Structure 1
Amino acid sequence: MKPIYHQLDFGITCIDTEHMRKDFVAAYLIEDEGRAAFVDTGCYLSVPTLLATLDAKNIQRENVDYILLTHIHLDHAGGAGELIKYLPNATVYVHEYGAAHLIDPSKLRAGVIGVYGELFFKQFLGDLIPTPEDKVIIAKDGDTITLGNRILKFIDTPGHARHHVCIWDEKSQGLFSGDTLGVSYREFDTDQGELIFPPTTPVQFDPEVWKNTIHKLMALQPKYAYLTHFNRIEFTRQSANMLIQHIDGFVEIAKTLKDQPNRHKAIKESLLNYLLDIATKHGVVLDEVQ
C-alpha cells in the first residue's frame, strides 16, 4: 500500500485516510526528536494507511507514544482499538465523556448501525473494536503532554460534541481542531480563500456553547487549524466569523422548519440548498456530481 499524505512543516504530516473518498478525512502524524503521535485515526478501515505512512517515513512503531483523539465519532476515532494493537508503547488520550465508549464500543456501534444501517457500517467503517482500558487516559482541559521537545495541550471544546477536545501545539501555533473549527474542503478554495462551514452531526450540537468555544480558541491567536475535514488552513478572526455565521444560518433553518411535516427531509434539503448557495457566492463552480 502506498499511502497518500501531505508533508507540512513543524514535523506535521496530514494523512489522507481515504475514507469515503480522497481529500475528505485526515489524520495527523506529529514527529519531534524521534518520537511520534497520531491525532485522530480515521475509521477501522483507515488503520493500514496509518501504518503504511509510518513505514514510508521510516518511523518505528515503538516510537509512537500517543494516539490523541479529538472526539469519538467514528471518522475520527473508529480505528483507535485496531491501531493501538500495533503500537506497543502508545497510549490513547480521549475526553472523559468518550473514554467508556472506547473501552466498550457496543453502544457506539449500535447507534451508528441504527442511523446508517449494517451495510454502510461494514462497507465504509469496517468494524469497531475495544481499546484496552489500561491504554486509555482521560484528556482533561488544560492537561499537557510532552512529545520530544514540544508541548501539546488539551482544551475542552464542546459544541459539536460534548466529548470533544482540541490540541494546541505551541511549536506550530496551531490547533488540531477535529470538527470544532469547522470543515473546509480544498476543492472549495477560490481566490476568496477557504470556505468554512460547520459539520451537521446533530446529536450533541449546541450552537451557543459551540460559539463560546470558538471565541475561547481564538483567544490563543492560532495561526493554523489542522482540520480533519480537510488538511491545514490558516485560521483567522475572519475564519471564525465565517464559521459562526454559518452555525447561525443552520440554526435558523432548523428553527424555521421545526414544525413542518416531514421535518427531517425539509431541513436536509434546506441545508443542502444553503451550502450550495454559500459555495456559489464563494466562487465555487459545482457540477451535478459534486
Structure 2
Amino acid sequence: MTIITESGKFSENLYLIDTEQFLNKRITTVFCYWDGKNCYLIDIGTSDNVQTILRFLKNNEIPLQKVKGLFLSHYHFDHGGGATKLWKTIHRKNNNSTFKIITTRETKEKLQNAESHVMGAKTTFGNFVGEMKPIPVDLEENAYEIISFDKDYELSSIEKITIRLLSTPGHSNDHCSPTIFRNGLPIFCFVGEASGCLYNGSELLSQPTSMPPNFQFEKYMNSLEKLINLNPEKLGLCHFGVISGKNDVKTYLNGHKKYMIDFRAAVIELYTKNQSTRYIIENLKEDFFNDEKFIDNYYRKLNNHSNFLSNLRLALTYGMMISLGFRKPKYELK
C-alpha cells in the first residue's frame, strides 16, 4: 500500500504541494504538473496559501513565467479561494505572463461572486478562510479561460498528455475532478472533494468531506461511481495526499462508497430519535467519527486537532441534514 503525504515529486511531471492550511501540514493539497517547459497548478488553497505555493515553485526551480494555468476542482475557499490573488500576484511580478485561471463558466461565476460563501465559511473556520476578491470586470477576459466539463485540454503534444475536468457534482454543483491522461489512459485523478478525506497515512479509511449547502447525495454517489469506473493509476485527495496503485485506489473508493451510504442512514435514524445536531454528532462518534480508527497519530498530536475536526464534523453533519431537508442553509443558498 502506498499513501504519499510529503510535498514533492511523486510521479513523472507531477508534484504534491502541501498548502499548510490552517497553519498545519497534511490538511489541504495542491498539485502541480511541470514537464520542464510548461507548469500547470491544480487547485490553489486559500488566499493565505498563495505565498506557500509560490515558495514551492521557487524551491523546485519552476520559473514563474512558465506557469501557464490554474485548474480548479471547485470554487470553495480552501480550493479556489486563492485563485484571483494568484493571478494578480503573477501578473504583478511578470507583466508579460500568459497565466490564466482555466475553469468552467460555473466556477468562474462563483469566484466572481463569493461574498455569501465567505461569510458562511467564516462561521465555521474563522479568519483561516482568507479573502476572495473578484477580478475587476475589465480584466476578466485576461484572467479567465473558460473550458467545458469532460473535454480534453492539451498539456503536452509531444507526450500526448491531456487534462480533463471530469464533471463530478454532489459536493457542489460546479465540482469537477481534474484528471491527467497519457495516450488516453488516466494516470492521475485529482478527486477534489468527490470521494471523501483521508486523515490516515497507513490505512485506506475515508472520512466524509465537509458538506456545504449545495451537497446533493444522489449526485455525489453517481460521481463516486464515475470515479470507480475511471480506474486511474493514482488518486489525489485534497484532504490529504496521493493513493498510488489501481488496487488501492479501487479499495479506497469502494470503502468510501459504503461509508457514505451507512453515514446517511445513520443520520436519518438518529434524527428520528432526537433532532438536535449535537445529539446526532455525539452518536455518530463511535462508528463514523472514531479518532482511534480513522485518524492517525499525526493528526491526533496537532495542537488544535480537536477544534479542527469538531468544526469539520459539524459542517459535514449539518450539510447532510440540509441535503435531507432536516435543516436550511444559514448563509449561502442552495
Give deviations 1:209-236, integer Å, cap 9, x for gaps. 2121121122222111111111111353
Instruction: Give the structure 1 partner of residue 197 of structure 2.
Output: 183
1:159 maps onto 2:170 in alignment? yes
The answer to whether the 8 A contact 1:95-1:165 is kept is no
Deviation at 1:245, TM superposition (A): 0.9
Q: Which residue of 2 aligns with 1:68?
A: 71
- Secondary structure at 1:8's aligned position in 2? strand
Name the CA distance, whole Å, in 2 between partners of 1:98 and 1:269: 35
Name the structure 1 match of 2:213: 203
Deviations 1:72-128 (CA, angstroms, capped at 9, x unpaired)? 111111111111113332111234332212123223223323x33xxx543x12322
Shift in CA distance, 280/16, structure 1 to aligned 2, threshold 3 Å? same
Superposed CA deviations along residues 50-78 of structure 1, whole A, max 9, x for unmatched, are: 11111112222121111111011111111
Give the 3-state SS of the residue equivalent to 2:207 in structure 1. coil
For residue 174 of structure 1, the aligned residue among 148, 170, 188 is 188
Partner residue in 2 for 1:226? 236
- Tell me the SS of whatever aligns to 1:170: strand
SS of equivalent to 2:166 = strand
Matching residue of 1:250: 263
Mean Cα deviation higher: 205-214 or 15-24 = 205-214
- The answer on 1:127 being equivalent to 2:131 is yes
CA distance in 2, matches of 1:103, 1:287: 37
> Once the 2 structures are TM-superposed, how far is the Cα of residue 18 of structure 1 from its aligned partner?
0.6
Deviating above 4 A after TM superposition, structure 1's stretches of 4 or more consecutive aligned residues are: 259-262, 279-290
1:15 to 1:273, Cα distance in 2 relative to 1, 3 A: same
Q: 2:10 matched to which residue of 1?
A: 8
Q: Which letter does structure 1 place at the counterpart of 2:255?
A: M
Q: Cα distance, 1:154 vs. partner?
A: 1.3
- 3-state SS in 1 of match to 2:15: strand
Flag structure 1 segments of 5+ consecutive residues without an equivalent: none
CA RMSD in angstroms comes to 2.4
User: Which residue in the other structure is 2:113 paired with?
Assistant: 104
- Counterpart pick for 2:89 among 86, 109, 130: 86
Q: CA deviation at 1:261?
A: 4.8
Matched, 1:42 2:51: no
Deviations for 1:217-265, whole angstroms, at most 9, x for unmatched residues? 2222211111111111135332221001111122112212334555222
**CA distance 1:94–1:49, shift in 2 (3 Å):** same
Equivalent pair of 1:36/1:66 in contact (CA under 8 Å): yes
- TM-score normalized with structure 1 length: 0.86
Find the residue that maps to 1:92 and give its secondary structure.
strand
Which amino acid in 1 is paired with 2:62? I
CA shift in 2, pair 1:60/1:283, >3 Å: closer
- How many residues in Structure 1 have an aligned counterpart in Structure 2? 277
CA–CA separation in structure 1 for the residues paired with 2:112 and 2:210: 26
Give runs of aligned pairs for residues 256-271 of structure 1, distance below 5 A. Answer: 256-259=269-272, 261=274, 263-271=276-284
Match of 2:328 in 1: none
Residue 215 of structure 1 is aligned with which of 207, 217, 225?
225
- State whether residues 77 and 130 of structure 2, in contact with CA within 8 Å, keep that contact through their aligned partners in structure 1: no
Shift of residue 275, structure 1, vs aligned partner:
3.1
**1:253–1:270 CA contact under 8 A, matched in 2:** no
Q: Structure 1 residues 80 and 288 mapped into 2: Cα distance closer, same or farther (>3 Å)?
A: closer
Aligned-partner Cα distance in 1 for 2:285–2:103:
32
Q: Which secondary structure state, in structure 1, belongs to the residue aligned with residue 230 of structure 2?
A: coil
Measure the CA separation in 1 of the matches of 2:76 and 2:243: 22
Output the TM-score relative to the length of structure 2: 0.75
